[in-house]
């Protein structure tokens, strides 16, 4: 489905939607205006994250009996950080033919206009909403050489950029793409430090795709300021340093406050103990996408 402009729906997609016996979609209310605009009267059935385990066998059974079913998502390509993987997998296991009707994808659209290398990239989807888990995920990506693509909610963009600037390095290039394909489409290109300052002062609105450069060869070779975040307090503690000593090293390499690094690590450890609690923000991620 279009991620912005309704005209992005291809003629082939329109034809398929009119020819199939059933359209499985995340929200029947959201697709209804689009179908009405094109006089498509195909029945719809809800298929979303919280009912796909129950719904998938039902859809497989219909296909076994000869039904042709189209799977769509609210915006973009199904199964890309959206429901669909379970149904596709089970359909293939059942011997059902599965085909793709290529369409819009926020991942590819953001990459194409970010102005960062696109020959190799990694899609990371949504980072964890839990602070300790999110920091762990970012630390694991600190030395990733490929361009990275993330989805993020507007309300968490500022804090996420601040953490990326701290862990990846403030000088790392990035681009915030907002409302792709819509009237107020915007692309803000700068380094992570500048983007963190901007969106902390002026919170973003709309749907966000964040593109971040991988670690550069020169940075990796010279051990410059962007390499420092690859060294973590936890790693230095494992090597034998005390928490205060490790915090001092990270602060010195990153040009940060030793006290701030120390306190942040303490807070991270406390939060990490509660990371097994339910992720209350998971539904918010879906709503904001």
Kindly report, residue by residue over 236-267, the tens digit of the pLDDT. Answer: 888 888 988 888 887 777 656 677 778 777 76
- Residue intervals of the chain classified under CATH 3.40.1010.10 are 6-93
pLDDT: which is higher, 112 or 183: 112
Fold for domain 107-272? 3.30.950
- Residue intervals of the chain classified under CATH 3.30.950.10 are 107-272
Run of H or E including 178: strand 173-178
* The token pair that represents 83 in the structure block: 């429901």
Neighbours of 153 (CB within 10 A): 19
The answer to whether the beta carbons of residues 173 and 116 sit under 8 Å apart is yes
Q: Does the global pTM surpass 0.85?
A: no
Q: What are the DSSP E strand ranges found in 91-145?
A: 121-126
Q: How confident is the model at residue 289 (pLDDT cuts 50, 70, 90)?
A: very low
Give 54-86 pLDDT, tens digit per residue: 999 999 999 999 999 999 998 899 988 888 999
CA contacts within 13 A on the Cβ side of 20: 22
Give 91-141 pLDDT, tens digit per residue: 999 999 999 999 899 999 999 999 999 999 999 999 999 988 999 999 999
Quick one: pLDDT at residue 274? 61
The listed CATH number (3.40.1010.10, 3.20.20.70, 3.40.50.1820, 1.10.275.10) that belongs to domain 6-93: 3.40.1010.10
């Amino acid at each position: 489905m279009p991620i912005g402009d309704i005209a992005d729906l291809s003629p082939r997609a329109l034809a398929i939607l009119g020819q199939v016996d059933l359209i499985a979609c995340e929200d029947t209310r959201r697709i209804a205006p689009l179908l009405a605009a094109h006089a498509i009267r195909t029945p719809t059935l809800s298929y979303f994250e919280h009912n796909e385990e129950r719904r998938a066998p039902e859809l497989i059974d219909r296909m076994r009996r000869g039904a042709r079913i189209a799977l769509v998502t609210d915006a973009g390509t199904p199964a890309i950080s959206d429901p669909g993987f379970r149904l596709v997998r089970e359909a293939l296991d059942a011997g059902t033919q599965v085909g793709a009707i290529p369409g819009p994808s926020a991942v590819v659209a953001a990459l194409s206009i970010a102005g960062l290398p696109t020959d190799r990239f990694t899609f990371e989807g949504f980072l964890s909403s839990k602070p300790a888990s999110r920091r762990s995920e970012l630390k694991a990506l600190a030395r990733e050489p490929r361009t990275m693509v993330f989805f993020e909610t507007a309300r968490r963009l500022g804090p996420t950029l601040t953490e990326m600037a701290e862990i990846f390095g403030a000088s790392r290039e990035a681009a915030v793409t907002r409302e792709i394909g819509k009237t107020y489409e915007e692309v803000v290109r700068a380094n992570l430090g500048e983007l963190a300052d901007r969106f902390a002062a002026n919170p973003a609105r709309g749907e966000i795709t964040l593109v971040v450069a991988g670690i550069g060869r020169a940075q990796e070779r010279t051990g410059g300021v962007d390499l420092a975040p690859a060294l973590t307090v936890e790693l230095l503690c494992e090597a034998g340093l005390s928490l205060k000593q490790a915090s001092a090293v990270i602060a010195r390499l990153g040009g940060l406050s030793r006290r701030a690094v120390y306190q942040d690590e303490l807070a991270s450890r406390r939060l990490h103990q509660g990371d097994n609690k339910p992720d209350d923000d998971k539904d918010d991620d879906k709503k904001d996408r």
